[in-house]
Chain A
Amino acid sequence: MPDGTLLQRLLAEDAGRLLDDWTREQIASTSLRRDLISETELRQQSADFLAALREAVARGSLESVAGPEWAPVRDLLSSVSRSRALQGFSPSDTARFVFSLKAPLFARLREHAPPERLGDETWTVSSLLDQLGLFITESFQKSREEVIARQQQELMELSTPVVKIWEGVVAVPLIGTLDSARTQVVMENLLGRIVENGASVAIIDITGVPTVDTLVAQHLIKTVAAARLMGAECIISGIRPQIAQTIVHLGVVLENVTTKASLADAILVALRATGYTVARVAPRS
């Protein structure tokens, strides 16, 4: 069984030229997105990887890359895949970072390995690189998922601001589809701000809600009921013609809720309810 001494020797003695060949190989590859990464950065990543690989081969087994001695290599691959996920590389581009090392490495094996051991050596190196390739793909996937999760979180926080319109009047402009989780956040935010501002009227504007189904309507009714329990009246505004039709066709009953077509109408009603009046002081120009 090959013990990796040949691979170790190759990586140690021929490091400079191997790096040159490998970098050239990667750049020559037609699929490399030259617009996303500079040659210097690529060369730096490659050099770091070769150095880490040399260390790991010298210290650990070639059977599995899960051991502690492979930790630096794994960390390096994770950081490479993370940066590539952010730069917008495709998964195969990222995996090719490892797989493109095969060509220059196999060429050297053919030169240096004794013919009777060439097959074994090639197999060892190949399976090692395959494992590393799978690892980088997996961590690429993971970093993409992290990006998605973070965006979802940001969306959740961004999309539910409660704004103070006037003394005693708050409004929440809803944007995007309402699901149970979002309704919960909206409800908590709105009720919290009602207490904070001592608001007696809350406006829920659904201009940015693309569709209203029975579930969304149910969520809206719940929010209105909760606000009412705390002593604030709710006005739902921004109901588009199609939405109004859908609500009626679905048989949703909104009879205890004040509804207005536009936010402006709702603000007017809210101001009147809190004892203000809106008047034009200068003639229309």
Chain B
Amino acid sequence: MERIPILKMGRFLLVTIQVDMHDRLALQLQDDLTERIVKDGARGVLIDISSLEIVDSFIGRVLGNIAAMSRVLDAETVVTGMQPAVAITLVELGLSLPGVRTALNVERGMELLQASLDREELATLEHDADPQG
């Protein structure tokens, strides 16, 4: 069965969607991704959809769901490289993916994940240094 590969990069998982997303594939990705987040202890997920030309309401909803599930598992999701036409379609469908962070390209997305991870670790360090505070 066809699968979208999930790559591990440090503490993040990288998914690039380069084929037409159909419903079964999207659900499979959702399964695989949640499993991998738990298995690898990932802190962030980056989904690159720059080659995705067509998106429907179902795929849009699955993307939103993946983000929500990742957050429950303490991993942040960034969707990168959305095409203008796809963005317009999603907005017209009323799916503005409220819980999902977005970035223009993979590089910026990685920076975003790294920055929020750094921030979190800094907060933990400060807390450890001053447990009363």
Question: Footprint of B on A, CB under 8 Å?
Answer: 187-188, 191-192, 194-195, 198-200, 222, 225-232
Q: A188 to B83, alpha carbons, bound, how many Å?
A: 11
Q: A199 to B103, alpha carbons, bound, how many Å?
A: 10
Contact B104 A198 (CB under 8 A): yes
Please give me the residue from chain A that is nearest to B86 by CB atom.
A229
Contact B87 A230 (CB under 8 A): yes
Contact B108 A200 (CB under 8 A): yes
Chain B nearest CB: distance from A158 CB in Å? 21
Whether a CB of chain A sits under 8 angstroms from the CB of B91 is: yes
Number of A-B contacts (CB under 8 A): 54
Contact A191 B91 (CB under 8 A): no
Whether a CB of chain A sits under 8 angstroms from the CB of B105 is: yes
Contact A227 B104 (CB under 8 A): no
Contact of B88 among A187, A199, A228, A231 (CB under 8 A): A187
Contact B103 A231 (CB under 8 A): yes
B residues near A227, Cβ cutoff 8 Å? 87
Whether a CB of chain A sits under 8 angstroms from the CB of B70 is: no
B window 58-107: CB within 8 A of A:
79-84, 86-88, 90-92, 96-97, 102-105
Contact A194 B104 (CB under 8 A): yes
Q: A232 to B91, alpha carbons, bound, how many Å?
A: 14
B residues near A191, Cβ cutoff 8 Å? 84, 87-88
Please give me the residue from chain A that is nearest to B98 by CB atom.
A256
Extra inter-chain contacts (19) besides given A191-B84, A229-B97, A230-B82, CB under 8 Å: A188-B88, A191-B88, A192-B84, A194-B104, A195-B84, A222-B91, A222-B92, A226-B84, A226-B88, A226-B90, A228-B102, A229-B79, A229-B82, A229-B91, A229-B96, A230-B83, A230-B102, A231-B102, A231-B104
A residues near B91, Cβ cutoff 8 Å? 222, 225-226, 229
Q: A188 to B91, alpha carbons, bound, how many Å?
A: 13
Contact of B87 among A198, A199, A200, A229 (CB under 8 A): A229
A residues near B81, Cβ cutoff 8 Å? 231
Chain B nearest CB: distance from A185 CB in Å? 11
Contact B84 A228 (CB under 8 A): no
Q: A110 to B74, alpha carbons, bound, how many Å?
A: 101
Please give me the residue from chain B that is nearest to A184 by CB atom.
B88
What would 8 A/B residue contacts be, using CB atoms closer than 8 Å?
A188-B84, A194-B104, A195-B83, A195-B84, A222-B91, A225-B91, A228-B96, A230-B84
